[in-house]
Homo-oligomer: A and B are copies of this chain.
Amino acid sequence: MAKELMTRAQDYSQWYNDLIIKGDLADYSAVRGCMVIKPYGYALWENMQQTLDKMFKDTGHQNAYFPLFVPKSLFEAEEKNAEGFAKECAIVTHYRLKTDPNNKGKLMVDPEAKLEEELIVRPTSEAIIWNTYKTWIQSYRDLPILVNQWANVVRWEMRTRLFLRTAEFLWQEGHTAHATKEEAIAETEMILDLYADFAENWMAMPVIKGVKTPNERFAGAEDTYCIEALMQDGKALQAGTSHFLGQNFAKAFDVKFSDKNNQLDYVWATSWGVSTRLIGGLVMTHSDDQGLMLPPKIAPLQVVIVPIYKGEEQKALIDVKVKEFVQSFKAAGIRVKYDDSDNQRPGWKFAEYELKGVPVRIAIGARDLENNQVEIARRDTKEKSSVSMDGLTNTVTALLEEIQTNLFERAKQYRDEHITKADTWDEFVKILDTKAGFVSAHWDGSADTEEKIKELSKATIRCIPLNNEQEAGTCILTGNPSTQRVLFARAY
């Protein structure tokens, strides 16, 4: 083996870190809680970005860019939002360093360069954006505003995990403004569908669409919709959220518009985002003890070709053939690499590309040339087979589609098998402690009960699924009457 990896059974958490770091997706940095996204990981993010960006634009959104900093007075304007983020934000207080008179060659913060008003490094941009929208919106003709931003944000988390929870992360945040409540809710729901489409059809990661309980809402939202995914250790991951913000931010920033009848009203708002956290979800949905497993549609590299040869003569013959394949693959839109580097043996390369999750590996040797065939190995099932060189591009294109489908189906089967009903508290706890996954259980609807369940079991209500079946029952904790089951899980 090229690089030693922890197995899931031994230490799931270490296995995850090994995959991220040894798979070349990201690395720790010198800054507490901040990561370096390495080229391979960033290429994955770029593919995800491009797909989402196109989806946003196809649904009428435009990109813009707002300042990194939020003056404290704006930050605190929407009270709940401020309260929600106050405890975890990086604060700029000074704008200059000077040489330290007591410490040669060192710098110190210049006490004379203190800002009159502190600046918060954005943990999210509602405040700065709604303060801007105030100047953009006068009449219903200025609505809707459908804007998205690709940006970095900072939340000073105490316990961080690569991709899953980092102090700085990359994301997109949509911020839309509407003339009516209905339109804003429709936008919120449309984006939720868009996120689910992306998660399932591009990342091959099945998700459940639902709404959060008031306890779990975004700070400042009237309603938070979410997509929830299930990781291989049975823990849930919130993969994306879409918030109906009501008129909260319009009121906090005094953003009114005159409608067709010249009546003034506050503007209705939504915001929504997904982040580099999705990469963590991707890794934990598909990978195995040999490494990553990237869905073809977003894999930076879809196919790697490795030559197996003795001597330059064999190599030259293989090169000629591979060159044809590479051209044909690229023309078909396949992201392919011919790894003929001579500083590692084929076995090392096989392990390396397995670790990196490249969906399809093609090996080609002298005997294959004679037989007009190549050996294809698929990452998802590890099956190997010899296939004809004739029509290889079509074979590979079809295989990539098959792998994409298989990854989704497999993950969906696992997810579906891990939604378990519990009707008593004992059942509930037992499922969480043994099988894990989502537990579908009755809850009496009170925030106190929700809090107590969390304290006792470390499980939270991940969501109330959309179009949830209404069913009379009794709360697993209190025995109080309940009208529906909700989905609990321990979560990232």
A-side residues, CB < 8 A to B, are 27, 29-31, 34-39, 42-43, 45-46, 62-72, 74-76, 79, 82, 86-99, 105-107, 109, 118-121, 128, 131-132, 135, 141, 147, 151-152, 154, 156, 168, 170, 343
Contact yes or no, B30 A71, CB < 8 A: yes
A91 contacts B90, CB within 8 Å? no
A479 CB to nearest B CB, Å: 38
Choose among B38, B64, B119 the residue that contacts A37 (Cβ–Cβ < 8 A): B64
| Across-interface contacts of A76 in B (CB, < 8 A) | 105-107
Contact B29 A96 (CB under 8 A): no
- Count chain B CB atoms within 10 A of each CB in A74, A89, A107, A343 and give the residue with the most: A107
The reply to whether B109 and A69 contact each other, CB–CB distance below 8 Å, is no
B86 with A95: CB separation less than 8 A? no
Q: A63 near B42 (CB under 8 angstroms)?
A: yes
A164 to chain B, nearest CB (A): 16
* A36 CA to B68 CA, complexed, in Å: 10
Known contacts A36-B66, A39-B147, A93-B93; 8 further A-B pairs (Cβ under 8 A): A30-B71, A31-B69, A76-B105, A82-B97, A87-B96, A90-B92, A91-B94, A92-B121
Q: How far is the CB of A121 from chain B (nearest CB, A)?
A: 7
Whether B89 and A119, one on each chain, are in contact in the complex, defined by CB atoms closer than 8 angstroms, is no
B74 touches A30 (CB 8 A): yes
Q: Which of A31, A71, A82, A141 has the most CB of B within 10 A?
A: A31
Contact A119 B31 (CB under 8 A): yes
Residue of B nearest to A34 (CB): B67
Q: A62-B43, A67-B31, A152-B152 are in contact. Are A92 and B91 (CB under 8 A)?
A: yes
